[in-house]
Amino acid sequence: MNLYLDIDDNADDYDEDTNPGGTRRVLEDAGMYLLNAATLWDVLGVEDKARELAALRQRFFDMVSSEHLGEARLTPGELVRLKALLDGLVEAAERELVDENWQVHPERIAEVEQKQPPLGYFTTDADGQRIYTLSRCLSELNMTLAYLKRALKLGCAVMVG
């Protein structure tokens, strides 16, 4: 599932290398990012946000499957709520789950690693120590939140498809 800003093509000035803070018209894989967000809230013990986010994500999938063209428009309320459910998530993970390099605290690795979908991955740090990092997941969540904030700032419609 992707998210689409209803903007002119020429307003899409995002470029990963030259303008990473620009406006991105399409946020690919948003469905996976929302699933990861719900899973992360669950790991952090915030079950109400995890359930609401998972239910909202499922509603988006249901909306898309019921539409003729495979896409549907989010209501302004859904957009605001989605932003609210993502707001503070990365900061909560930084307080309770990861260090300053977004590496999971050793005592929490087993708990995080068993979650599906996987939130992170194992790698080796500069000292040759095996670590479990959430760097990709947390970066994607920051990117998703920035996308939603940009949509709200522009006041444009957001499509899901």
Copy the structure tokens of residue 96: 């309770």
- Taking a C-beta distance cutoff of 8 angstroms, is the pair 139, 28 a contact? no
The answer as to whether 53 is a domain residue is yes
63 vs 36: CA distance, rounded Å: 20
Residue 64: predicted pLDDT: 83
Judge whether residue 161 has pLDDT over 70.
yes
Query: How is 48-71 classified by DSSP, letter by letter?
Result: HHHHHHHHHHHHHHHHHHHSTTS-
How many distinct structural domains can be found in the chain? 1
The answer as to whether 156 is a domain residue is yes
60 vs 131: CA distance, rounded Å: 35
- Taking a C-beta distance cutoff of 8 angstroms, is the pair 133, 103 a contact? yes
127 vs 2: CA distance, rounded Å: 38
The answer as to whether 65 is a domain residue is yes
73 vs 77: CA distance, rounded Å: 11
Percentage of residues in the chain having pLDDT higher than 90: 60
Residue 14: predicted pLDDT: 65
pLDDT digits (tens, 9 = 90+) for 102-113: 999 999 999 998
The average confidence (pLDDT) of the chain is: 89
Residue 78: predicted pLDDT: 93
88 vs 25: CA distance, rounded Å: 24
The answer as to whether 122 is a domain residue is no
The answer as to whether 9 is a domain residue is yes
Q: Tell me if the bond preceding 117 is cis, omega within 30° of 0.
A: yes
Residue 131: predicted pLDDT: 93
Q: What is the DSSP letter of 17?
A: T
The answer as to whether 42 is a domain residue is yes
The confidence band for 31, taking pLDDT boundaries of 50, 70 and 90, is: very high
The answer as to whether 82 is a domain residue is yes
pLDDT digits (tens, 9 = 90+) for 66-109: 765 677 889 899 999 999 999 999 999 999 999 999 999 999 99
Residue 145: predicted pLDDT: 96
Query: What average pLDDT does this structure show over 52-77?
Result: 85
Q: Tell me the whole-structure pTM to 2 decimals.
A: 0.87
106 vs 11: CA distance, rounded Å: 44
Range of the domain at 79: 3-100+140-160
